[in-house]
Structure 1
């Protein structure tokens, strides 16, 4: 009888050992999959959107497609390589990266600065491809503020700490505006700064009050501007006026906006069909860049627009998941900053195309044409995957 009880206890211990767990590394293949889906979808839409213009201008309908496809493949490999590195290496590079961003933006004012489409925002170093240094500032702000918040610890809730963080982010935003005349990037940097401070601060009410005041002042300012500055020569003021009354500027600054709206309206539920856009035949200037979402709506309709939103929604969900399960605060804040950046760019781009806000020149991540944009976005994705790789879950180990 006693032997039977002993055997029973031993059996229970044996069965419980079947559920014994071990710590296992994690790699977010779901994030990799949605990134590749977005890039592939973007390449398909880029070819459809740009083939006519590329044929007319370069006698090669795949001119834009080939360039974007080549850099996209290279950037995917680069992102996977970055993900294999320990993201804590960024801690030692925080201040050099912060300083380098300002120096690179300063180079725009020198002979290295390159002008395109009436804006001098790029730099060209030798035979290297030109790039926008303001994109470096976005990553610099995310890394620097994440590190500073970790160093501040509980003191981050003090007014002094918030002012220091706001100053660090604000300096990069100011540099982007002054040195590269890139207001849209400056706004994104300011919003990333505010978002990271909001996430790190234990209180929500002051931020909600501040946001409400800013929104109220913005509405009042727009109402005043629309009545007093119709004759202003500032292109930024004209953008606000075009946003408010695009039909009054149909033959000038409002032409692109109206043509984009016509493209969206003609798409209906399922669109004209892939490759069958009419507006891309020169009616929507630079359709492969900021306005590519309007061509998606025209060719694929509401269905295509919702598909894009679902893909971006899932991408943001994966970033949120990584931020929530990051092994430390630095990794969590790093991915949170990336989440804020991508969310802002998607919202700004689609809002501009729908004429819900003035034209900002913000590209649609992973879909719009642009080597600089895809390169720095994939650097951020590599960092997010690097944080995800450090997540450890408990998995069952079955013992026979």
Structure 2
């Protein structure tokens, strides 16, 4: 069976992911070398060496996810959902605070962000539960309401950390799965109205620090030394890159002008050093992965596999848009990493597991297509003989 899977994998998807990971590793080194010395008073390869460790771990998880039959996840939706909620509750009591958000659990020299893994857990749960409820999906109370309550609980736990960026990704990704689940459009429209009302309420209750993020995004020059500092320096990095960039390793903004250049704002460094060509390379590969994921979801005749593929693709697409929106001033800065590129173990491992599942789904889709084609050919051969 393993040999059969390897034969039917979508290798264009595998190559795209590996190219992004390799490129991201190189850019993490370039973007973080100065920051490592300035902030941690250590060697310039500090973040690079740690990212290599995370990349090795993520590649192992990637291979396991590629081999593990995606349909088996349906058997574990209760423990997956339970562990996801438990981790979010646990982080409130034993979590460490970074950038004013209690989002991390420390394990010795390393730490991980539970909300990253919850994103995939929720997608698996939604795909399983909505595929199970297809017979009565048009009944809002029986088919749609219970999963919505779970989404609301997880969203509230993540937003209260507060981690508005991840909460936004969870809400939008869940919305994509819901739209594709077969729910009636009048129910979807009603949910959109409720979402707008809740967003308006959340807007009115923003803390001064959270409100400053919107000021920094949409009017950065009103406070260039504080709320607008990140975005202004991101603009400078992007503008100075031009078409071909200043050259690899030649960024000026990473010398203390752009905080955390190897995480949230790594695309600004890519734009500065490699120019528009580097940006197009990254966005092109990310766009291809998202596009292929949706194609796999459409081609998959199993409702669970289809919703799972669409949810994973939607998550990667939404996270990309949120990150790029932050560095260009379209969205407030929320600390969301650029998929496969930014420094960080939790995000990289989660994404590699997710794409591994996506590739496993594509293999089963290709096997089914081959079997169907073989059956048709055999049937035609029998008819000719008769």
User: TM-score surpassing 0.5?
Assistant: yes
**8 Å Cα contact 2:131-2:181 kept in structure 1:** no
Q: 2:294 aligns with which of 316, 320, 344?
A: 320
Confirm or deny: 8 A CA contact 2:163 2:334 kept in the other structure.
no
Task: Report Cα offsets for 1:264-298 as digits up to 9, x if no partner.
Answer: 11111221111111111110001101011111111
Structure-1 residue corresponding to 2:25: 43
Residue 137 of structure 2 aligns to a residue in which SS?
Answer: helix
Using the alignment, how far apart are the partners of 2:57 and 2:106 within structure 1? Answer: 20
Shift of 1:165: 2.5
Aligned partners of 2:215 and 2:228 also within 8 Å: no
For structure 2, the residue ranges without an aligned partner over 5 or more in a row are: 382-386
User: In the superposition, relative to structure 1, how do residues 256 and 153 fare at CA in structure 2: closer, same or farther (>3 Å)?
Assistant: same
Task: Tell whether the 8 Å contact from 1:25 to 1:390 is kept in structure 2 after alignment.
Answer: no
Distance 1:351 1:288 in 2: 17
Q: How does 1:97-246 map to 2 (within 5 A)?
A: 97-110=80-93, 112-125=94-107, 127=108, 129-160=110-141, 161-178=143-160, 180-201=161-182, 203-204=184-185, 207=188, 234-246=208-220
> Is this contact kept in 1: 2:218–2:330, CA < 8 A?
no
Tell me which moved more, 157-166 or 251-260.
Answer: 157-166
Partner of 1:342: 316
Note if contact 1:242-1:249 (Cα within 8 Å) is conserved in structure 2. Answer: yes
Q: In 2 relative to 1, CA 279–99 (structure 1 residues): closer, same or farther, beyond 3 Å? A: same
Counterpart Cα distance in 2 of 1:233 and 1:24: 51
Out of 77, 87, 97, the position equivalent to 2:70 is: 87
The alpha carbon displacement at 1:59 in A equals 3.0
Is the contact made by 2:117 and 2:350 (CA closer than 8 Å) also made in structure 1? Answer: yes
Partner of 1:52: 34
Partners of 1:259 and 1:73 in 2: CA distance: 32
Which structure 1 residue ranges, 5 or more long, are not aligned?
Answer: 1-22
Does the C-alpha gap of structure 1 residues 62 and 235 become closer, same or farther in structure 2, counting only changes over 3 Å?
Answer: same
Task: Map 1:223-302 onto structure 2 (within 5 A).
Answer: 234-302=208-276
CA deviation digits over 1:188-243, x for unaligned, max 9? 11112211110012655764686589679979998xx7xxx9xx852111111222
Question: 3-state DSSP class of the match of 1:157?
Answer: coil
Indicate conservation of the 8 Å contact 2:144/2:183, yes or no.
Answer: no
Deviation string for 1:146-165 (max 9, x for gaps)?
11111111311222222222
Residues 292-333 of structure 1 deviation map (CA, whole Å, 9 limit, x = unaligned): 111111111122111111111111122122212225111111
Q: Note the C-alpha offset of 1:58.
A: 3.6
| Alignment pair present for 1:356 and 2:330 | yes
Deviation at 1:364, TM superposition (A): 0.2
Question: Are the equivalent residues in 2 in contact too, given 1:260–1:294 (CA < 8 A)?
Answer: yes
Match of 2:353 in 1: 379
> How far apart, CA to CA, are the structure 2 residues paired with 1:369 and 1:382?
20
For residues 91 and 126 of structure 2, the distance between their equivalents in structure 1, rounded to whole angstroms, comes to 25
> Aligned-residue CA RMSD in angstroms?
2.8
What residue in structure 2 maps to residue 3 of structure 1?
none
Alpha-carbon distance between aligned partners in 1 of 2:199 and 2:207, rounded to the nearest angstrom: 21
Within 1, Cα distance between the matches of 2:259 and 2:144? Answer: 42
Question: Could you say which structure has the larger radius of gyration?
Answer: 1
Task: Provide closer, same or farther for how the CA distance between residues 82 and 128 of structure 1 changes in structure 2, counting only shifts above 3 A.
Answer: farther
Verify the 8 A CA contact 2:223 2:229 in the aligned structure 1: yes
| TM-score of the two chains, using structure 2 as the length reference | 0.87
**Alignment match, 1:14:** none
Task: Supply the distance in 2 between the matched residues of 1:24 and 1:53 (Cα, whole angstroms).
Answer: 41
Whether 1:369 and 2:343 are equivalent positions in the alignment is yes
2:285 is the counterpart of 1:311: yes
For 2:76 and 2:299, locate their aligned partners in 1 and report how far apart those are by CA, in whole Å. 24
Contact kept in structure 2, 1:267 and 1:301, CA below 8 Å: yes
> 1:335-368 deviations in whole A, cap 9, x for unaligned?
1110111000000000110001111111100001
Q: Is the 8 A contact 1:28 1:388 kept in 2?
A: yes
Cα contact 1:166–1:194 (8 A) shared by 2: no
What is the TM-score with the length of structure 1 in the denominator?
0.84
